């Protein structure tokens, strides 16, 4: 096998290992704070340590894993301060985006969003629910016709996606923020910018509070 073929084969193996670990992290099968031992993972997946190490690097770039010089790879858990800062910034940007979007959200789009909210209420798979949640918000914000604003929002939402998935995976479907989404949609139908901004602010603060509580519980479990 040539050097290029060996490199391609290793990279493919690394991506496969990363994909399997990513799925386990996002489905909360690997809890925040879990130490990922390189040797144990290599044995588990039947590969050498090199693709495992490369997989850890890929996951670190996605914010799913933190690589500590002394402890190795650890499933990432943000601090409460991190979460509060993310959501304070997101509240400011997303409340602006929804106000700007109102004139451009036609009835057909709002009807599609209503159907999406209905599906979210009965969806039990956390990954599918999270994807629909992302689609709901993205559809509204893109209607603002402010590409730079929506790009900034997308960057912040991506940065918090990892722990949103972890949090959602531990929730009962009935307790997810579906009522918040209906409140946001009702505000959009009202065409009232103040009400729309308030609905997003409520949603951001509610989610941040729930996430902070989740992180604090996780920290206590890690400390045991």
**What is the Cα–Cα distance from 195 to 45, expressed in whole angstroms?**
51
CA angle 216, 220, 221 (to 5 degrees): 115
Across 83-108, average pLDDT: 96
**Do 88 and 95 meet the contact criterion of CB atoms below 8 Å apart?**
no
Give the range among 31-40, 52-61, 91-100 with minimum mean pLDDT.
31-40
**Which residues make up the CATH 1.10.10.10 domain(s) of the chain?**
3-75
Across 20-32, average pLDDT: 82
Residue 169 has pLDDT above 70, yes or no: no
**Which residues make up the CATH 1.20.120.530 domain(s) of the chain?**
80-223
β-bridge mates for residue 74, sequence order: 35, 66
Across 210-216, average pLDDT: 84
**Do 73 and 67 meet the contact criterion of CB atoms below 8 Å apart?**
yes
In this predicted model, which residue has the larger pLDDT, 1 or 148? 148
Predicted confidence at residue 15, as pLDDT, reads 92
Residue pointed to by tokens 């996780």: 218
Which token pair is 32?
Answer: 């925040």
Across 60-87, average pLDDT: 86
Predicted confidence at residue 162, as pLDDT, reads 67
Predicted confidence at residue 200, as pLDDT, reads 97
Residue 135 has pLDDT above 60, yes or no: yes
**What is the Cα–Cα distance from 86 to 77, expressed in whole angstroms?**
14
Predicted confidence at residue 8, as pLDDT, reads 36
Give the range among 5-9, 98-102, 182-186 with minimum mean pLDDT.
5-9
Q: Is 3.30.365.10 the CATH number for 3-75?
A: no
Query: Into which CATH architecture does domain 80-223 fall?
Result: Up-down Bundle (1.20)
As a whole number, the mean pLDDT across the chain is 86
Which token pair is 195?
Answer: 């009400």
β-bridge mates for residue 75, sequence order: 65
Predicted confidence at residue 175, as pLDDT, reads 59
pLDDT band at residue 7 using 50, 70 and 90 as cut-offs: very low
Residue pointed to by tokens 């925040």: 32
**Do 184 and 190 meet the contact criterion of CB atoms below 8 Å apart?**
no
Residue 172 has pLDDT above 70, yes or no: no
Report pTM.
Answer: 0.74
Residue pointed to by tokens 């209906």: 182
Across 145-169, average pLDDT: 82
């Amino acid at each position: 096998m040539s050097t290029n073929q060996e490199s391609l084969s290793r990279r493919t193996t690394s991506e496969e290992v990363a994909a399997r670990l990513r799925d386990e992290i996002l489905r909360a099968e690997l809890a925040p704070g879990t130490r990922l031992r390189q040797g144990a993972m290599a044995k588990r997946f039947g590969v050498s340590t090199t693709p495992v190490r490369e997989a850890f690097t890929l996951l670190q770039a996605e914010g799913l894993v933190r690589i500590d010089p002394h402890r190795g790879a650890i499933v990432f858990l943000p601090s409460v301060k991190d979460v509060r800062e993310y959501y304070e910034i997101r509240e400011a940007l997303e409340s602006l985006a929804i106000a700007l979007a109102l004139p451009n959200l036609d009835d057909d789009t709002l009807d599609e969003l209503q159907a999406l909210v209905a599906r979210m209420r009965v969806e039990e798979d956390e990954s599918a629910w999270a994807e629909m949640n992302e689609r709901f918000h993205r559809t509204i914000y893109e209607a603002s016709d402010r590409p730079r604003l929506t790009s900034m929002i997308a960057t912040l939402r991506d940065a918090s996606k990892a722990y949103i998935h972890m949090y959602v995976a531990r929730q009962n479907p009935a307790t997810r923020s579906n009522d918040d989404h209906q409140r946001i949609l009702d505000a959009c139908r009202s065409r009232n910018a103040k009400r729309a901004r308030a609905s997003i602010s409520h949603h951001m603060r509610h989610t941040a509070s729930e996430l902070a509580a989740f992180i604090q519980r996780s920290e206590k479990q890690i400390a045991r």
